[in-house]
Chain A
């Protein structure tokens, strides 16, 4: 049942831009943010809230811009390298941050990300300051596309990655390491007495979550065509936490469901009123009050109760 539902959802997403071309950009951004929110959701399993994951989103996006300026002009290579940049940044920051818990973890992530934001905004000669950096359209397997065609390629590539990376993350969460990660939330003492190094379990999760945020950042950089310091601003990090909670952390699809819901709601709300934040805020209150497990929790519950 779950496979059929997932296949139907992916198929619907694939044909939506054909019916409404304007949706392609919205959906690409939603998937990109879904990756980053999935990174946040991975850490939420251990009870750790990161209010700084936009840093990895931005690190990867800037990675794309720098690498493109350095002459690398292949979409696949740029994606892989920029995700590695985010993962490496995650490994460096994580080695220090995963020693902390609760509010200290959240605040330190926020602090580090704001240092990163300040560097991006102030180092004008390197990063272009608040003007940011342009991201040229790369070649895809040696083929150079015009912008509209490239954006379509990017959308379908993002969709394919959503399925493949989603399955890989689910595999990780089902593995002993994934279970150990969830166990950190409930009983660190027992984990230590099992001989499991909690620090290493969390660092691996942190690097994976940074890489996921990085993948989202790289896709966003290609979709928008420019990277700016605002990618790393604390409100962007808060937005990712919001998406993760809204979608639900009970399963991998939750992050993407949350991102799609929020992006589509935002797109619809701005056409109705300038006070679109009001509509988005109301929707969030309703979801959080009546669906504590997030939107995905609703699907999961229905599936569990079906005969």
Chain B
């Protein structure tokens, strides 16, 4: 059995009495591509928020490589190799696409230099390679706020990849991306994850994407895990088909 890179144990959190996590536990192992599916409002994004330190659970713990990170800030968790792409892209909207990328690269290899400029030939080349991966190399010098929503989403993913993470958390990576671009994006993403040996956890509503790419699926419902297993096993579960897939 591969060791878990991330474990969340007995998580409990509620908002105004609505339970987003109700004693749930999950584990993601090295090299996995774990999909989390479930109805809207079931607490999937909350789980990502807890795992990245944005929300602290009322009880329970989150372990990264066996070390407790439950009380750490998003910054401290990011510096331990956990990157995140958001459901609503989180970009530096007034800056160029390439600057978004280069700042993410600089965050890992030389933020504190006040003498060297952000834009170096090496950094630009690396940023362009990542932008090429998501098909945004032609938009490098555009101000990121002028990008269409789908492309902003792609940039958000590229920014997360630029952090060279060991674990990548993706919140609905294909939402807002056109149907034509969806599978090419996933192919590129999967290729990047495999090449860079990145483990990933992704929340997704597109069941075709989940069925095709996830190595394991976890069904989240009302703050708890309803089902878990390989995609064919999970989608073969009548209860999941009725209560989740039908409404997802």
Q: Residue A180 at the B interface, CB < 8 A?
A: yes
A52 to chain B, nearest CB (A): 24
**Known interface pairs A190-B90, A193-B84; A171-B115 also in contact (CB < 8 Å):** yes
B80, closest chain A residue (CB)? A195
Whether B92 contacts A196 by the Cβ 8 Å rule is no
Cβ-based interface call for A178 (8 A): yes
- Which residues of chain B are near A193, meaning CB under 8 Å? 52, 74-75, 78, 83-84, 90
Verify B94–A185 contact, CB threshold 8 A.
yes
Mask for A162-193, Cβ within 8 A of B = 1, else 0?
A: 00000000011011111110110111011011
- The minimal Cβ–Cβ distance linking A261 to chain B, given in whole angstroms, is 26
Question: How many chain B residues touch A (Cβ–Cβ < 8 Å)?
Answer: 34
B112 touches A177 (CB 8 A): yes
CB neighbours of B204 from chain A (8 A): none
Q: Are A187 and B93 in contact (CB under 8 A)?
A: yes
A194 interface residue, CB < 8 Å from B?
A: yes
Chain B 48-89, CB-CB to A under 8 Å as 1, else 0, gives 000010000000000000000000011110110001100000
Instruction: Return the 7 tightest CB-CB contacts between A and B, nearest first.
Output: A176-B106, A195-B78, A190-B90, A195-B79, A194-B107, A183-B92, A174-B117
Residue pairs across A and B with Cβ atoms less than 8 A apart, 27 shown, are A172-B114, A174-B119, A175-B113, A175-B117, A176-B102, A176-B111, A176-B116, A176-B118, A178-B114, A179-B103, A179-B106, A179-B118, A183-B95, A186-B93, A187-B90, A189-B74, A190-B91, A190-B92, A192-B78, A193-B74, A193-B78, A195-B75, A195-B107, A196-B103, A196-B107, A196-B111, A197-B75
For the complex with contacts A175-B113, A175-B117, A182-B95, 9 further pairs of A-B residues with Cβ separation under 8 Å are A171-B114, A172-B114, A175-B115, A175-B116, A186-B92, A193-B84, A195-B75, A195-B108, A195-B163
Residues on B lying within 8 angstroms of A by beta carbon are: 52, 73-76, 78-79, 83-84, 90-95, 99, 102-104, 106-108, 110-119, 159, 163
Chain A residues engaging chain B, CB cutoff 8 angstroms: 171-172, 174-180, 182-183, 185-187, 189-190, 192-197
